[in-house]
Amino acid sequence: MSVTKLAYYPGCPSETTAMEQEMSTKAVFEKLGVELVEVEDWNCCGAAEIEDPKLVHALNARNLAIAERAGLDIVTPCSICYYNLERANRALQEDEGFRAKLRGIDPSLEYKGTIKARHILDILMNEIGEAELSSKVVKKVNLKVAPYYGCYIGRPPTTAFDDPDDPVLMDKLVELIGGECVPFSQTKTLCCGGPLMMTRADIAFAMARKVLEAAKNAGADCVALACPLCGMMLDAKQPDIEAELGISIGMPVVYITQLLGLALGIEPNKLGLNKNAVETKEILGRVK
Amino acid sequence: MAIKTWELDSGFKDEIMSEPGGENLTKCFQCSTCTLGCPLTEIVATYNPRKIIQMSLLGMRDEVLSNPDLWICLICQTCTARCPQDVRIADLLSAIRRVAEKEEKAGRLKIESHRPLFDKAFEHQLAKYGRLYDMGLAMEYYKGKEGGSFFKGLLTMSKDYKDFGMRMFKKGKMGPKAMFPEKVKDRAVVKKIFAEFSEG
Ligand code: SF4
Ligand code: SF4
């Protein structure tokens, strides 16, 4: 295992709506012996709402610079944070003029471009690796899982770390911990609708419904995902979607780190499995 | 609808291409891969990014900037991943949205979508705190949606979010970290970033 210490970028929902992702990420990395050092005084990455790339690059230059001063690559559990951090990283590495401009604005924005931004799924599968993970698995997660990737794991090509049409990293992780992936290729990279949640809930709900119903029709016990916005749409909003559209879904949705944590023998409450909106009790009974 | 050639604005494409993200507009060769793979088209049948691009290339400035479909792109990047010409459609549509916002600011366009309002409210939270403050964002957004009335906004918000708020509360997700803003300590530098790079 090549990695022992990383700068950790939690992202804004980490202490509120996505606290179970934060809890499970920290618990899993601790169990795996990889130290996560929180990016000191980090700021928001700009999410999907800051549209001007220059502003996104400048905001993330500050986060990247803090991690760089600590001499560490930056890792985040959020797909959107990952996309913003890494696209900013590429833009900054390629543009000495822009870096100089940022230095001029404030010395704390001085970034040399020596680190990388990574997503936790990428670190788990490509740095820690399947052999190491397998050696630490103590329980079998005997579940049928719909592995859901959403947008920024396989897209856009500049920052993607998995296949755009049929990503596999989460599938492999699910199988490694004893689960079975249901056929989900048609749906796994669909958008959850999140960016329109507040301004066009009708469209956002229709998108999320597709993902959830596809999982249900494929016979999944749960959906596994790796992004807090996807978690918001598919889990936290699921009862609203059911009420608004007059349908019943009842599909448990968990973060992939929660499933991995169970396989590593971590207590369900430490993984925040009592925080997911859709009850997870039934799936917990299947971990042996 | 026939195109009125005398109303075309030949400078429109340059206007878009000078916005970051819009640079590759003229690379488009109209293959329609973007539209065919776009997940929105299954929900909004008329949605057609290829057409928006062609209209932009032709210089149909008013039609493009007033097109409500500009504001429903999910930025899911499916089009960008598949385009054989590296048009970077998701970024391009964002660049066109920024042109439309400038047009509105200049008083020449009225954008019906609430999305710019939401994005601005989001930006204001970041400029103020350096982090996203959900409650502040929701309050500002709903206030704007209700024509600037704080109380009407609060009322609509409570109605829309009653069940959701209760659900989050029961799961212990509505503690002080959700109720009050988390602030970056070095807000001075955040302020400098916004002063330099934000339109305000
Ligand atoms: S996929 Fe690319 S080249 Fe084809 S129509 Fe869309 S933008 Fe144009
Ligand atoms: S980024 Fe927008 S236009 Fe492109 S595929 Fe997604 S929703 Fe469609």
pLDDT in tens, A33-65: 999 999 999 999 999 999 999 999 999 999 999
Residues A216, A251: contact at Cβ < 8 Å?
Answer: yes
Contact B18/A at CB under 8 A: no
Please report the pLDDT score of residue A277 as a whole number.
96
Any atom of ligand 1 within 6 Å of the Cβ of B34: yes
pLDDT in tens, A191-233: 999 999 999 999 999 999 999 999 999 999 999 999 999 999 9
Together in a domain, B146 and B176: yes
- Residue B34 CA to ligand 2 centre (angstroms): 8
Residue where a domain stops, chosen among B105, B136, B157? B105
pLDDT in tens, B50-92: 999 999 999 999 999 999 999 999 999 999 999 999 999 999 9
**Does residue B96 lie within any of the structural domains?**
yes
Only one residue has tokens 């929660």, namely A258
**Does residue B178 lie within any of the structural domains?**
yes
Contact A97/B at CB under 8 A: no
Please report the pLDDT score of residue B176 as a whole number.
80
Which ligand sits closest to the CA of B32? 1
Residue (of A74, A120, A117) closest to A260 by Cα position: A120
User: What's the pTM value of the predicted model, to 2 decimals?
Assistant: 0.96
Q: Which residues of A touch B74 (CB under 8 A)?
A: 151, 191, 193-196, 207
Together in a domain, B124 and B190: yes
Any atom of ligand 1 within 6 Å of the Cβ of B28: yes
Together in a domain, B80 and B19: yes
Together in a domain, B101 and B126: no
Q: What percentage of residues in chain B have a pLDDT greater than 70? A: 99
Class of A5-119 in CATH:
mainly alpha
Residues A118, A67: contact at Cβ < 8 Å?
Answer: no
Together in a domain, B22 and B101: yes
CA dihedral A231, A237, A241, A247 (to 10 degrees): 80
Contact A99/B at CB under 8 A: no
Together in a domain, B120 and B99: no
Nearest CA in chain B to A240: B164
Together in a domain, B124 and B182: yes
Residue (of A261, A194, A207) closest to A233 by Cα position: A194
Together in a domain, B43 and B125: no
- Residue B77 CA to ligand 2 centre (angstroms): 6
Residues 6+ apart with CB under 8 A from A23: A270, A271, A272, A275
Question: Is A44 in Cβ contact with B71 (below 8 Å)?
Answer: no
Question: Phi and psi (nearest 5°) for B105?
Answer: -60, -35
Q: Which residues pair with A246 in a beta bridge?
A: none
Contacts with B, A 160-189, CB within 8 Å = 160, 164, 189
Q: Which residues pair with A35 in a beta bridge?
A: A5
Contact B119/A at CB under 8 A: yes
Question: Is A51 in Cβ contact with B134 (below 8 Å)?
Answer: no
Contact A109/B at CB under 8 A: yes
Looking at ligand 2, which residue's alpha carbon is closest to its atom 2?
A: B73
pLDDT in tens, A233-288: 999 999 999 999 999 999 999 999 999 999 999 999 999 999 999 999 999 999 99
**Does residue B43 lie within any of the structural domains?**
yes
Q: Which of A174-188, B14-28, B171-185 is predicted with the least confidence, judged by mean pLDDT?
A: B171-185
Task: Determine the residue of B48, B87, B96 to mutate for testing ligand 1's pocket, defined as the one with the most ligand atoms within 8 A of the Cβ atom.
Answer: B87
Question: Is B177 in Cβ contact with A15 (below 8 Å)?
Answer: yes
Distance between start and end Cα atoms, chain A: 27
Residues A228, A78: contact at Cβ < 8 Å?
Answer: yes
Sign of CA dihedral A16, A21, A25, A26: positive
| 3-state per-residue secondary structure call for A32-82 | CCCEEEECCCCCCCCCCCCCCHHHHHHHHHHHHHHHHHCCCCEEECCHHHH
Please report the pLDDT score of residue A99 as a whole number.
98
**Degrees, nearest 5: CA angle A218-A156-A252:** 30
Question: Is B98 in Cβ contact with A51 (below 8 Å)?
Answer: yes
Kindly state the helix (H) or strand (E) to which residue B14 belongs, with its residue range. Answer: helix B12-17
Please report the pLDDT score of residue A1 as a whole number.
58
Nearest CA in chain A to B167: A277
CA-to-CA distance for A228 and A245, rounded, in angstroms? 23
Together in a domain, B12 and B94: yes
Structure tokens at A226: 């790796």
Residue (of A83, A209, A137) closest to B77 by Cα position: A83
**Counting beta carbons within 10 angstroms of the beta carbon of residue A98, is it exposed (0 to 12), middle (13 to 18) or buried (19 or more)?**
middle
Together in a domain, B96 and B129: no
A97 torsion bin: left (phi>0), alpha (psi -120 to 50), beta (else): alpha
Any atom of ligand 2 within 6 Å of the Cβ of B21: no
Question: Is B20 in Cβ contact with A52 (below 8 Å)?
Answer: yes
User: Is it the case that residue B18 has pLDDT exceeding 90?
Assistant: yes
Please report the pLDDT score of residue A180 as a whole number.
98
Q: Which residues pair with A76 in a beta bridge?
A: A119
Count: domains in chain B: 2
What domain range is B98 assigned to?
Answer: 5-105
User: Relative to the CA of B77, which ligand 2 atom is closest?
Assistant: 1
- Residue B79 CA to ligand 2 centre (angstroms): 6
Kindly state the helix (H) or strand (E) to which residue B89 belongs, with its residue range. Answer: helix B89-105
Average pLDDT, stretch A96-108? 97
**Does residue B110 lie within any of the structural domains?**
no
Only one residue has tokens 């970290």, namely B177
Contact A90/B at CB under 8 A: no
| B99: CATH | 1.10.1060.10
Any atom of ligand 1 within 6 Å of the Cβ of B36: no
Nearest CA in chain B to A102: B193
pLDDT in tens, B102-146: 999 999 999 999 999 999 999 999 999 999 998 899 999 999 999
pLDDT in tens, A111-147: 999 999 999 999 999 999 999 999 999 999 999 999 9
Q: Residue A30: which pLDDT band, with cuts at 50, 70 and 90?
A: very high
Together in a domain, B26 and B101: yes
Q: Which residues of B touch A108 (CB under 8 A)?
A: 186, 189
What residue ranges do the domains of chain A occupy? 5-119, 131-284
Please report the pLDDT score of residue A96 as a whole number.
97
For domain A131-284, give the fold: Rossmann fold (3.40.50)
**Does residue B125 lie within any of the structural domains?**
yes
Question: Is A51 in Cβ contact with B119 (below 8 Å)?
Answer: yes
Average pLDDT, stretch A73-80? 98
pLDDT in tens, A8-27: 999 998 888 999 999 999 99
Residue where a domain stops, chosen among B80, B105, B130? B105
Q: What is the DSSP letter of B21?
A: T
Task: Determine the residue of A80, A165, A191, A210 to mutate for testing ligand 2's pocket, defined as the one with the most ligand atoms within 8 A of the Cβ atom.
Answer: A191
Task: Determine the residue of B57, B85, B96 to mutate for testing ligand 1's pocket, defined as the one with the most ligand atoms within 8 A of the Cβ atom.
Answer: B85
Any atom of ligand 2 within 6 Å of the Cβ of B121: no
Task: Determine the residue of B51, B79, B87, B97 to mutate for testing ligand 2's pocket, defined as the one with the most ligand atoms within 8 A of the Cβ atom.
Answer: B79
